[in-house]
Structure 1
Amino acid sequence: MDIAALASLAADLGTEARRTNQRRLLVLHGDRDACFDAAFTAVESADIADEETTLLSTREGFRFERHRPKHAKRLLGTTREAVILDAFAEFSPDVVGQSVGAVDGGGLYVLLAPPLDEWPDRRDDFDESLAVPPFGLDDVSGRFRTRLVETLRTHPGVAIVGVGDDAADGDADDAADDSAADGTAADIERDGLTGDDAPPAEPGPSVPDAAAFPAVAYESCLTRDQSRALSSLERLRTGTPEQAEAVVVEADRGRGKSSAAGLAAANLALDGRDVLVTAPSFGGAAALFERARALLDDLDASLAVDEERRIEVGASADEPSVDPTGRGRIRYLPPAEAAEAAGDADVAIADEAAALPVRLLADLLAAPAAAFVTTVHGYEGAGRGFSVRFRDRLDESDRRVTDVRMDDPIRYARGDPVEGWAFRALMLDARPPVDEAVADADPETVDYRALDGDDLLADEHLLSEAFGLLVLAHYRTEPDDLARLLDAPNLSVRALTHEGHVVSVALLAREGGLDAATREAMYDGERVRGNMLPDVLTSQLRDPEAAAPTGLRVMRIATHHAVRSRGLGSRLLREIERETGDDVDYLGTGFGATPGLLDFWAENGYRTVHLATTRNAASGEHSALMMAPTSDDGRALARRHARWFRERIGAVLSDALRDLDPDVVRAALATCDADGEAVVDVSEYEWRLTVAAAYGPGLADAAPRPFRQLALAHLLDQEADLSARAERLLVRKVLQAREWERVAEGLDYVSTAECMRSLGRALQPLVDRYGDEAAFAERDRYE
């Protein structure tokens, strides 16, 4: 078929896209060079200007704006008439998720791919990233691309054209003659035309009666939904410690929720409020800041901008305010820092809130007014995780909560087929079963299933339920995770089902079992993908043999929210151990440590071997590593790391972990299981100092070492009868060496003196439990 037919089709696609204010997807597959030539023909034929086109490719030298596919995130928040994605190299699902939303209504998304029948069997740089040692590239499957190709061939609004020397229909010589002038043959397999008419216009924005924000703010809105969201955000003006406010704005991507938050932030700052903004990264909040600054310019407000991350209203650009007392400001802080600073702000705004951990979101409630702006489905979102995991806590608070949902797209009309295709292809709307379907599930009614990639590929319903639950198990899930689930040779899925529905699911990663050369490279600091526990134990904790045993790490585990606390997660872990225990040396896990999670894993036989000394930048937590050995080699590995953990943790708690939550310390130490009881090495003189502080006039500050020995021994062995508050006191004062005044205030003692007396009382049962004859003789003097 003549390449002119492709030009005609592209023109028709562009015409229909503009008429409906929707997008169309054009797939060009075959020879790479021919695909590029065809893409340029298509964009030109669709009457799209070069300056409105972006190319994502590893190749250089083209006339369009170009980024490498791995830099596609730069398109988030931008608008283009056409995006061309070269999927021959560096292709990943994330690239699609990051780039497809940049195409404006009336535009084209152009995908260049190898021949579709062959594509699932080809391997590229992304597949290389899935080949986790000891697995190789040949072990990576092509299930994700098999499913992707099926969605391209069946979804409305997707045109497919084969291009290259062998793409034409009919007689090869005739095809060559037809296309000789253009050098490319084109076979139109699907035209992608829907025949739709322009949808009815959506209602425009409006200015509410008695609006507190100025009319120009509402006139800046692009949809009725956006103006309604802005009106709801006015409630942030009235938040006080006595009557705190919270506004939740939920929308799919491209609805203008961040812009609405930016308009609200500008007005709040103009009123003198200190507005604290956070997001998983500053890039996620860039649209908010851009819209706020634009509105302030429209209002002729004097302002100073510091590297786009801080806007001070009422300050001049030449003399920005250092102390903005009496002046409003909008400032960005990373999630962990924002959680600590929220109590000092007037308003806290979390953009892309579903991608933040629940603990950090809860900490933002220290501000008298807080807004949570989040994507329900889409690249930045985490499905229903926000509503399931955080909303209960928000609803139980004493805040007045206002909900607003935005449905009207801004960049394109409703019913856009490219949006529908992206949701389906990337499973952006994957969700667990409805509550009613699993309401009666308990450990006795469920079936245990090992789900391999073929099972998931063959059953779209099963894949959606399993992936939907895994989305809820983590504060950040991206489209790449779907490809890993289907294709990565080191990953596997286990599930509990109730009447065919997934109620609990675990994602497992096979680790370790590495050869001597790889272990040596790891010991020398080389990162080995997909081997989290062996990597930490080898490179950070200096165990050259840690990567020799084979382990199975529970990457994520989730139970349906409607049937939690029924023992289903524990049942799933028991079944995993029963099935895999003879095949691996240990089961392991790593997670942001909280007391509840540490207790859960301990109840299921896992024991602490490490606490990270730095906080995870996204979660704000210190990670804990835990193991449950299943063989002699696994037990030897776990024992020595538990022993080393006991030996080093005392010094770390007074240094890098000095600010760690004492309840996390208590739970982590209580779940460390080394051979034998903790050793208390205290001299006769040190016993006199210790006993004097416990029973007499001595001071714990006089000689910290013996007190730390006793505190660690108790927290590790849990044999003395101490209250939780007394154990927190041991952690804060004795192990973390915090100042008396801060300890007394943090633990709610009426005075520093009472706090000091309480420490003496807490030491008494420890002296009684671990003391020797010298200690008891000294004790008898005071008794």
Structure 2
Amino acid sequence: MDLPGLTERLVAEARATDERRLLVLHGARDPCEGAARTALDASGLGSRVAVVSGRDAVDATTRRPPSRAGDLLGETYDATVLDCHDECRPNALGRAAGTVDGGGLLVILAPPLDEWPDRRDGFDDSLAVPPFGIDDVTGAFRRRLVRTLRTHRGVAVVGVAAADDDAGVRATVERDGLTEPGPRLVTADEPVRPPDGAAFPAAAYASCLTADQADAVAACEHLRDPGQAVVLTADRGRGKSSAIGLAAGALALDGRDVLVTAPGYRNAGEAFARARELVGGPGAGAAWDDADHTLSVGDGRVRFAGPPAAADAVADPDAPGAPDVLLVDEAASLPVRLLERYLTGVPVAFATTVHGYEGAGRGFDVRFRDRLAATDHDVTDRVLETPIRYAGGDPVEVWSFRALMLGARPPVADLVADASPGTVEYERLDPGRLAAPDAEWRLAETFGLLVLAHYRTEPADLARLLDAPNVAVRALVHDGHPVAVALLAREGGLPAERRRRMYEGERVRGNMLPDVLTTQLRDETAAAPVGVRVLRIATHHAVRSEGLGSRLLDAVAAEFGPAAEDTAAPEPGWPGESVDYLGVGYGATPRLLRFWNRNGFRTVHLSTTRNDTSGEHSALMTRPLSDAGRALHDRSASWFARRVGSVLADPLRDADPDVVRATLRATDPGTPLDLTDREWRTVAAAAHGPGMYAPAPRPFRRLALRHLLGDPDVDLSPEAERLLVRKALQAWPWDRVVDDLDFVSRRACMRALGDACAPLVDVYGTDAAREEAARYGDN
């Protein structure tokens, strides 16, 4: 069978079943491009062709480089061609597959498959973080990818080369990919009808393409009432975003103010498109403001806000400008702790893809659903199962889920329910071994646990786990199954010349802690010690709060620390030298700060800007393992303690007071109380007598820092500590503090600050302070 004939049969099968087919053309780049043109000419497909490539050798309706494959999300094509010769980006692979319509063809252009895993490309270069080079990158991800291409149903593999006379292309069909499906029962498409008593307009239901989608729209009718929450869950291509868009338009037509949020406006583009279709254009009284992403119709509107801004908007449902309804698209791509902020009195819908090439977050399914169920919300769940773009069981979707581990799950709960720190074993999980054919289950369970650890996991993370030379995996295993997993990255140990360039502004990939400590915090020697940073750590949800996360961190410290009892050397090349410290960086919350602090990590930095998606400040912490690591920690922590007071009064002025308290508590003590006698008398007079804060804020700030940094010597209430943060450290105006902390009056707030300082003066004060306090007796 020649290439044109094969392509015709593949497309005929795809059209007959409303499925897609995958054609792999492998060989040198120019012959592959020629073969792609031949295949597309023979396919009989329409003119809607997308090409993901840095070259323009194949005609296309739309063309994007692999780095911008995400621009195609939400669009559909008859055929999509992905060129992997320059780089094989796992995210681009998944996104290209997601653009192909039922009856269509995905074409992958690749180097010779036998050679591909051992070739290094542009994506590999992104994995080669200093001090490693591109030759240190392994090929485990592509070795496994090639195996799936050669064995999976619906995948045709064709080797191509230049013809002997250089006049064309010689194609060898190695695998036809034909599934020879049996006949399917074809039923006439029936229009979707609104349910009896529907409140939304009939046009909203007429726009639905499946009964699943109509059920999802009907569920959103509950959002007209307070205390309601709706959860729409679906895999890609089921129409969940369209469903919330139709619901948004219907609510706006009913005069509601609907706020839509998602990781970015692009992610919510389909929802806004369907809302605009439903309400109509200017002739129907609707107006669209492209700059503000706001759709207005009558008294209602649909508007967009980023995730942190949306949380602020619904914080007080009775506040001016608060929306009537909140719709959250791509909810699994947001941190659970941010999703919790949406659970106010505003009716809310969460639409999410638990598995997906944009980023999967099973933390939504496992952790957030429990927290949602614990609220007073009346929750309505809908699962959209029927694909819209193609038939169920589509071979390309099944292949992409397997190849990119989109459906990876942790072990079944019953297998690990009895795990405890005393029953588990510490294991080094070799990436090459995880990628072996007989280890698919172990890879799926390990990667499934890591997906739980982060709100956004992408296919590129799978490649990083398998191929990046600076990354390693450690696990606690119970009866052969991982119950706690840590993804680790080697950092630092950089030569003096590189450190000099970093200090002068050069950024270095994959070395987060050394980079921040050098470039932002001006420590030119920070990148000399070798560190191991914990990228992610996850414990199986069935055995949380059993101490397994702490047990795993202690085992990692024991492996890499100088006092390790286990004398077995780490695997060759990783990290290949002694380790000076463990490090971590994450979005700071009080709970996480307490966890890392309990496990011996101490704060060395709190970022002055918030993450655009999570709205959180990042905390950097270290746990020294050697004298060099201790020296790095001590000078970094000391510098943090010296500067944090002024930082809190400026760029961190709006940081959450509980985050500030936990951050400072997780810092090693060391701030001297360098107050003069006059300053001590000022504070003592405010605490015990008629003194005031306003004439001299500095001693109050120094006293607050002395109390909050490290282990406290005085047991103050959380309310008193929040007041110290807001007023003494962040220098908020009195009236703003009164509102934020719910004081009955400004006078009461001022008195409370004096009361908070009184025990601090008694414990830390000098003779001058005590003498001043004694003047006022019991007054």
Q: TM-score range by the shorter chain?
A: over 0.9
Amino acid at match of 1:454: G
Q: Secondary structure at the match of 2:534?
A: strand
Counterpart position of 1:211 = 198
1:544 to 524, 529, 537: 524
Counterpart position of 2:362 = 384
1:57 pairs with 2:57: no
1:688 to 653, 666, 681: 681
Once residues 358 and 745 of structure 1 are traced to their aligned partners in structure 2, the CA distance between those partners, rounded to angstroms, is: 27
Report how many aligned residue pairs link the two structures. 750
1:395 to 348, 370, 373: 373
**Residue correspondence of structure 1 range 656-695 to structure 2 within 5 A:** 656-674=651-669, 677-695=670-688
Counterpart position of 2:640 = 645
Once residues 123 and 371 of structure 1 are traced to their aligned partners in structure 2, the CA distance between those partners, rounded to angstroms, is: 44
Per-residue deviation at 1:688? 2.0
Deviates more, 1:366-375 or 1:737-746: 737-746
Q: Secondary structure at the match of 2:593?
A: helix
Amino acid at match of 1:286: G
Per-residue deviation at 1:90? 2.8
Q: Secondary structure at the match of 1:55?
A: strand
Once residues 412 and 308 of structure 1 are traced to their aligned partners in structure 2, the CA distance between those partners, rounded to angstroms, is: 34
Counterpart position of 1:319 = none
1:297 to 269, 280, 305: 280
Counterpart position of 1:374 = 352
Counterpart position of 1:364 = 342
Residue identity over aligned pairs, in percent, reads: 60
Counterpart position of 1:410 = 388
Contact 2:237 2:387 in 1 (8 A): yes
Q: 1:113 to 1:312 in 2, by over 3 A?
A: closer
Contact 1:301 1:313 in 2 (8 A): no
1:587 to 582, 585, 592: 582
Amino acid at match of 1:87: C
1:554 to 534, 537, 546: 534
Amino acid at match of 2:772: E
Per-residue deviation at 1:200? 3.6
1:753 pairs with 2:747: yes
- Superposed CA RMSD in Å reads 1.5
Counterpart position of 1:137 = 134
Q: Secondary structure at the match of 2:709?
A: helix
Q: 1:215 to 1:224 in 2, by over 3 A?
A: same
Once residues 529 and 233 of structure 1 are traced to their aligned partners in structure 2, the CA distance between those partners, rounded to angstroms, is: 44
Once residues 262 and 621 of structure 2 are traced to their aligned partners in structure 1, the CA distance between those partners, rounded to angstroms, is: 29
Per-residue deviation at 1:182? 5.6
Q: Secondary structure at the match of 1:354?
A: helix
1:183 pairs with 2:178: no
**Residue correspondence of structure 1 range 435-454 to structure 2 within 5 A:** 435-454=413-432
Amino acid at match of 1:702: P
Residue-by-residue CA offset, 1:122-173 (whole Å, 9 max, x unaligned): 01100000001000011000000000000001110000000104xxxxxxxx
Per-residue deviation at 1:181? 9.1
Q: Secondary structure at the match of 1:373?
A: strand
Amino acid at match of 1:680: L
Counterpart position of 1:103 = 100
List structure 1 segments (4+ residues) > 6 angstroms apart after TM superposition. none
Counterpart position of 2:267 = 284
Counterpart position of 2:313 = 341
1:355 pairs with 2:355: no
Counterpart position of 1:323 = none
Amino acid at match of 2:22: L
Q: Secondary structure at the match of 2:469?
A: coil
2:180 to 172, 178, 195: 195
1:764 to 739, 753, 758: 758
Per-residue deviation at 1:26? 0.2
Residue-by-residue CA offset, 1:298-340 (whole Å, 9 max, x unaligned): 896312211175333336xxxxxxxxxxx21111111111111
Per-residue deviation at 1:62? 4.0
1:617 pairs with 2:595: no
Counterpart position of 1:774 = 768
Residue-by-residue CA offset, 1:86-120 (whole Å, 9 max, x unaligned): 10013210001111111000000000000100000
**Residue correspondence of structure 1 range 594-633 to structure 2 within 5 A:** 594-633=589-628
Q: 1:475 to 1:201 in 2, by over 3 A?
A: farther
Amino acid at match of 1:565: S
Once residues 709 and 440 of structure 2 are traced to their aligned partners in structure 1, the CA distance between those partners, rounded to angstroms, is: 47
Deviates more, 1:137-146 or 1:716-725: 716-725
Amino acid at match of 1:60: D
**Residue correspondence of structure 1 range 695-774 to structure 2 within 5 A:** 695-717=688-710, 718-774=712-768
Once residues 57 and 540 of structure 2 are traced to their aligned partners in structure 1, the CA distance between those partners, rounded to angstroms, is: 51
Once residues 729 and 692 of structure 2 are traced to their aligned partners in structure 1, the CA distance between those partners, rounded to angstroms, is: 15
Once residues 479 and 199 of structure 1 are traced to their aligned partners in structure 2, the CA distance between those partners, rounded to angstroms, is: 33
Contact 2:36 2:58 in 1 (8 A): no
Per-residue deviation at 1:197? 3.5
2:411 to 433, 437, 457: 433
**Residue correspondence of structure 1 range 185-334 to structure 2 within 5 A:** 185-201=170-186, 204=190, 205-238=192-225, 240=226, 244-297=227-280, 301-307=284-290, 310-314=293-297, 327-334=299-306
2:481 to 501, 516, 522: 501
Deviates more, 1:519-528 or 1:347-356: 519-528
Once residues 553 and 479 of structure 2 are traced to their aligned partners in structure 1, the CA distance between those partners, rounded to angstroms, is: 20
Per-residue deviation at 1:72? 0.8
**Residue correspondence of structure 1 range 450-529 to structure 2 within 5 A:** 450-458=428-436, 459-529=439-509
Deviates more, 1:697-706 or 1:101-110: 697-706
Once residues 704 and 225 of structure 1 are traced to their aligned partners in structure 2, the CA distance between those partners, rounded to angstroms, is: 61
Q: 1:235 to 1:201 in 2, by over 3 A?
A: farther
Contact 1:352 1:380 in 2 (8 A): no
Once residues 23 and 36 of structure 2 are traced to their aligned partners in structure 1, the CA distance between those partners, rounded to angstroms, is: 9
Per-residue deviation at 1:198? 4.9
Amino acid at match of 1:574: D
Once residues 504 and 337 of structure 1 are traced to their aligned partners in structure 2, the CA distance between those partners, rounded to angstroms, is: 34
Once residues 700 and 299 of structure 1 are traced to their aligned partners in structure 2, the CA distance between those partners, rounded to angstroms, is: 58
1:573 to 553, 557, 582: 553
Once residues 240 and 293 of structure 2 are traced to their aligned partners in structure 1, the CA distance between those partners, rounded to angstroms, is: 20
Counterpart position of 1:318 = none
Residue-by-residue CA offset, 1:566-618 (whole Å, 9 max, x unaligned): 00000000000000113200000000001111110011100000000000112
Per-residue deviation at 1:488? 0.1
Amino acid at match of 1:500: G
Q: If the length of structure 1 is used for normalisation, what is the TM-score? A: 0.94
Amino acid at match of 1:102: T
Once residues 401 and 377 of structure 1 are traced to their aligned partners in structure 2, the CA distance between those partners, rounded to angstroms, is: 22
Q: 1:408 to 1:308 in 2, by over 3 A?
A: farther
Once residues 648 and 198 of structure 1 are traced to their aligned partners in structure 2, the CA distance between those partners, rounded to angstroms, is: 72
Contact 1:554 1:587 in 2 (8 A): yes
Counterpart position of 1:321 = none
Contact 2:33 2:57 in 1 (8 A): no
Unaligned stretches of 5+ residues in structure 2: 563-577
Contact 1:11 1:45 in 2 (8 A): yes
Q: Secondary structure at the match of 1:727?
A: helix
Contact 1:70 1:90 in 2 (8 A): no
Q: 1:543 to 1:338 in 2, by over 3 A?
A: same
Amino acid at match of 1:331: R
Residue-by-residue CA offset, 1:248-301 (whole Å, 9 max, x unaligned): 000000000000000000011111111111111111100000111011118963
Contact 1:383 1:430 in 2 (8 A): no
Per-residue deviation at 1:383? 4.4
